[in-house]
A and B are shown apart, each in its own frame.
Chain A
């Protein structure tokens, strides 16, 4: 992408070929210094804020993760990699609750991601129907992007609440011995996942719809002339051509579900049934906020960073492929 710009730059500098080399160098050095100063002036506000509130804190997190800290957050004693071996259950203690919470996070995303994609695909296909008021329906399908996870959590807390009895029929159907889906270890994680699917519905829908609309119309046209049914054109045109979009969506949703916190804090807090809902981000919050173990919580956040980094790099590789593909 940036190749043409570089070419253009070299063409510009070639204009000065006539100058003696030393003079040319002096001029360009002076100009370069001036350009650098000017650029730095423009870059500095954004740079300073990013360095102060992203880079330095990030490095400090890594630093803190090797220390035992006091309640004020000062480092007290060097602790080596003990926190990391504790988190990954390599310390021989046999206590694996943090690996367990990672596993819970994986379960959570295994619920959220497929549900989200199926719903998004269904809505996006409906939204391509050729009727007059389709824009109105598209706005409704998008609406959840404007609703915060906190607001949604407050509403869904009441939907799952025994007072309103809105989900009592599910409890009866499954013969569960509980008052609320959120209080039973076999349904709590699914209940949070379903609510999460609703909050991300608008976004997933928009991305999928954009993917469908990017498919050239004449492919459908020629398939129709060849006598393809609408199921066949969905199965053999839409689905394959939409695969890059769906893969992209899958990764984004996975990353987002690994970072989910608000709904767990509002819907469940510390009252989760049998640790069935202890996701990793909530475990970080507990270590950080409830126990003031800043060093340990930092070590957990570094582990989370590495997991997300792996997912993000897959995502970028995938995006590259998509660009080449088009």
Chain B
């Protein structure tokens, strides 16, 4: 905190103090860098293993004179399904995200803008869904999807996740924050309620929609339990199932294993850098779900 003082104009022309401040800043950066390095250590470990070539006895640090980046290409040849897994994950994550945005926006609109009888009851239905953990629904869902013949299919991976109580709540809260007068004015001007939702409410709630989108995409991309259950054949695996299955396959080639893991992490890491604000607000709001 006290470091802010070093920017005080009064201190210009007091070189000794400036030197002290400089050392202080240096020490702070050193501490921050060491901690950052510790936090990133597992990732650096993965990167280190991926550039050591197909060795059976990898070391912690690579030989920096001959880094072998070919694993990032070879892994697509060694595991021809990797491309398909990435496509699967993208299709599923995008479809679930879009589906949740639509169902949540529609329901949130009704809860926030329309006065109708038994509203508290419907509100409670959405609230109650947050209390039910996935472990308590997964066995009947698995039996249903199997009976429908939806194992190894996009609909089996997507349809069960098309709505979320969390999404409804998040958007309802934002829709409620938009002044009611706007709705009344729009209706007087002859705006239909669907049009109001689509051309006024949605553009005004873009940050909330982005938060829900980033949060849902990340969660779906990282899903593990559900795809593990309903995917049998290798080409229907998502990335998460793919990399863990790749690991337990008989040939243990460490550089390819780590390369595929890093490749699969890239989309969400990029999402973190680009949409950190949305991701953070989504995660902190989503945490309430438990």
Contacts and interface: CB of A to CB of B under 8 A. Distances in A.
A210 interface: yes
B39 A55 contact: no
B140 A56 contact: yes
A187 interface: no
Interface stretch (B53-61, B67-75, B204-212): B53-61
Given A147-B268, A148-B265, A158-B49, A259 B133 contact: yes
Contacts of A147: 43, 265, 268-269
Contacts of A57: 136-141, 144
A113 B117 CA distance: 44
Nearest to B243: A154
B287 A163 contact: no
Interface in A50-70: 50, 53-58, 60-61, 64
A321 interface: no
Interface string B198-242: 000000000000000000001001101100110000000000110
A166 B284 contact: no
B107 A131 contact: no
Contacts of B1: 128, 130, 220, 230
Interface stretch (A19-27, A41-49, A77-85, A88-96): A41-49
A7 interface: no
B81 interface: no
A22 B52 CA distance: 85
Interface residues of A, number: 96
A230 B45 CA distance: 36
B258 A155 contact: yes
B137 A54 contact: yes
A256 B289 CA distance: 11
Interface string A289-313: 1000010011001101100110110
Contacts of A309: 131
A289 B229 contact: yes
A240 interface: no
A266 B126 CA distance: 33
A146 B43 CA distance: 12
A230 B3 CA distance: 13
A185 interface: no
Contacts of B261: 151, 154-155
A148 B267 CA distance: 11
Given A43-B106, A45-B163, A142-B276, A266 B244 contact: yes
Contacts of B116: 32, 35-36, 38-40
A46 B104 contact: yes
B28 interface: yes
Interface in B53-91: 56-58, 60
B250 interface: no
A165 B131 CA distance: 43
A145 interface: yes
A206 B283 contact: yes
Contacts of A35: 114-117
Contacts, number: 269
Nearest to A258: B133
Nearest to A141: B39
B287 A203 contact: yes
B57 A163 contact: yes
A43 B111 CA distance: 8
Interface string A110-140: 0000000000001100101111011001011
A206 B287 CA distance: 11
A144 B222 CA distance: 12
Given A46-B168, A53-B141, A304 B135 contact: yes
B139 A304 contact: no
Contacts of B103: 45-46, 49
A284 B138 CA distance: 11
A190 interface: no
A276 interface: no
A105 interface: no
B279 interface: yes
Contact of B46 (A61, A130, A155): A155
B288 to A, nearest CB: 7
A218 interface: no
6 contacts: A42-B114, A48-B163, A128-B1, A146-B218, A154-B244, A266-B247
Given A53-B159, A53-B160, A288-B139, 14 more contacts: A9-B115, A35-B117, A36-B117, A45-B107, A49-B159, A129-B28, A131-B3, A139-B272, A145-B279, A163-B58, A164-B58, A164-B254, A230-B1, A308-B133
The 7 closest A-B pairs by CB, nearest first: A148-B222, A49-B163, A42-B110, A57-B140, A146-B272, A46-B107, A57-B137
